[in-house]
A = this chain, B = another copy of it.
Amino acid sequence: MRKVTKKGTQTKQGGTDVSLRLALAQINGRVGGFKANAEKIKSACAQARKMGADIVLFPELIITGYPPEDLLFKKSFIKNCRETLKKIAPYTRSLTAVIGFSEQKGKHLYNSAALICDGKHIGTCRKTLLPNYGVFDEMRYFTEGDEPVRFSLKGAQIGLTICEDIWEESGPGKTLSKEVDFILNISSSPFHKGKGKARRQMIIKRAKSYKCPIAYVNLVGGQDELVFDGQSLVVDAKGKIITQGNSFEEEIIFAEVTLSPKKRKSVAKGIRSYRAPASLSKAKIKKVPQLPACVYRQKSEEEEVYSALVLGTRDYMHKNGFSKVVIGLSGGIDSSLTAAIAVDALWSHNVIGVLMPSPHSSKGSIDDALALAKNLDIKTFTFPIESAMKSYDSILKDAFKRTMPDLAEENLQARIRGNLLMALSNKFGWMVLTTGNKSEISMGYCTLYGDMAGGFAVIKDVPKVLVYELCHWINREREIIPENVLTKEPSAELRPNQKDTDSLPPYDLLDPVLLRYIEQDLSIEDIKVAGLSKTEIQRIARLVDLNEYKRRQGPPGVKITPKAFGKDRRLPITRS
């Protein structure tokens, strides 16, 4: 797959073929973690050097971590970024490094890439296209760059772009493509289901239309509600993939590209041009090591989403200094999936399950929760909550006289459970993971300060039908989620014989409506789902709207769909 061309070979154009060895540092950064990020950059440079790389690429804003959000307004933060960049320059000895950082110039802040050659910061590329949609707020912080940037190395011209710059065909890549032999892109591009494929196709398309090879490096890791999936890649000018990094894994990906540089003027109109020092054109090391074979492993859609949830959860815990989590186990499918993800993220001994049966809990639920805990090898507590229910009833007796039991009493049960989990959290420093899925959070079928109480909502962006699919995928080799959990009818068990379908349409009908209304922003009149009347669809949309106030008070969780609740979707609570 990797054609190693000897230097000095005559090309058809009459120039000389150039072979470049690349290292794509697909690393996991930390927002505000200047020291930790610098260490990772140092280590990646060392590996790149060892492998005889000419160029090492780092993700967008890797020095500050991504997205830094309003930390960018702090003078000390920008100063820290500048000083870190200075500190790491020497790490790039004998390499050309492209490193994302935040650049202050007068009153302007830029989302920039530093071009550092053999220890010297020789040039800077500023991001031109600033995304300000979806989860992105880049126009809040940055000024647009107005000049594409290229540099020459070993006789080839190489163009620099940053993330969004390459997503638009007519972006700076287009201008560059006419004046360079190779385009580099450094990104911090967050994941959602299908994003990896879409991104790969976009880069292939771009390489073909630009008639130019492209190397693309992407961040990996979780940051609050976002998870970055890596999947860095290098494609040739025909759009053929040369190599590809794995999803959700930190790794340095190596590749070799052979360029056939055209003769070009050293100054091109509208392009800022830099020149790497001649020393870098010499051989790096005496014996160039063989590059490892590309070991990209294609994942199924379920595996991809599952990996995103695991990494997002692990990073939220570890980056916030938590090692153990506690989860209320109801015996239902949502808490089962959440527990399975937690175990994969943190290991069994760091996950504690808590059973909190009420008089409305079925024996089956308790058995199912215990069976799950056994399969996952996690420790459990069991706290029957009836005495607490009674104590609230007695405190509220006078105030509630002449009323019938209703949602107030149901919510109290959920809130007693939330309190017990939070008591364990406060006492032992375990983070509470909440277990609500996207379908119920959309509909407000959850209790504020009850089952919504916790630090991280692992599956808040996973629709219920996908919850089932993920559980079947988990069970693909052996039973981890007990079979009964997958087959019984979903119930909140907050009153006798309660079923989810008492309040909600069946999930296989509900989820398509939610997808259209929430993710695709369709109007009610444009939503048609077989099996649901117009009135039912209207009721669903109305419930989604009415429950915005609840979602605002929920914890963050991993975004896995194109539009998650959070920064992605900014709706007023108050609306007519």
Chain A positions within 8 Å of B, measured between CB atoms, are: 30-36, 65, 67-71, 73-76, 79, 132-133, 137, 139-140, 222-224, 315-316, 319-320, 381, 383-385, 387-388, 390-392, 394-396, 399-400, 403, 406-409, 411-412, 415-416, 418-420, 422-424, 426-427, 448-449, 453, 455, 521-526, 549, 552-556, 569-576
Contacts and interface: CB of A to CB of B under 8 A. Distances in A.
Contact of A32 (B67, B394, B399, B575): B575
26 contacts: A30-B574, A30-B575, A31-B572, A31-B575, A69-B570, A73-B521, A75-B523, A76-B524, A133-B140, A137-B137, A223-B574, A319-B574, A381-B399, A387-B391, A388-B392, A390-B391, A395-B420, A407-B426, A411-B423, A411-B426, A415-B419, A415-B422, A419-B419, A419-B449, A448-B453, A549-B555
A154 B395 CA distance: 72
A383 B407 contact: no
Contacts of A133: 140
Nearest to A222: B574
Nearest to A553: B553
Given A140-B132, A223-B574, A419-B416, A408 B426 contact: yes
A572 to B, nearest CB: 5
A419 to B, nearest CB: 5
Nearest to A388: B391
Contacts of A316: 574
Given A69-B571, A576-B319, A422 B406 contact: no
Q: How many protomers of this protein does the assembly include? A: 2
Given A426-B411, A521-B74, A555 B552 contact: yes
Contacts of A521: 70, 73-75
Contacts of A31: 572, 574-576
Contacts of A132: 132, 139-140
A381 B399 CA distance: 8
A361 to B, nearest CB: 15
Contacts of A411: 422-423, 426
A555 B452 CA distance: 14
A573 B416 CA distance: 27
A387 B395 contact: yes
A409 B33 CA distance: 34
Nearest to A455: B549
A419 B423 contact: no
Residue picked from A79, A525, A556, most chain B C-beta under 10 Å = A556
A83 to B, nearest CB: 13
Nearest to A30: B576
Contact of A36 (B35, B139, B576): B576
Contacts of A32: 572, 575-576
Given A75-B523, A224-B574, A423 B408 contact: yes
Given A319-B576, A556-B573, 10 more contacts: A35-B576, A67-B572, A69-B570, A73-B521, A76-B525, A133-B140, A381-B399, A400-B427, A407-B426, A552-B555
Given A139-B132, A571-B70, A555 B556 contact: no
Given A395-B384, A523-B74, A427 B406 contact: yes
B427 A403 contact: yes
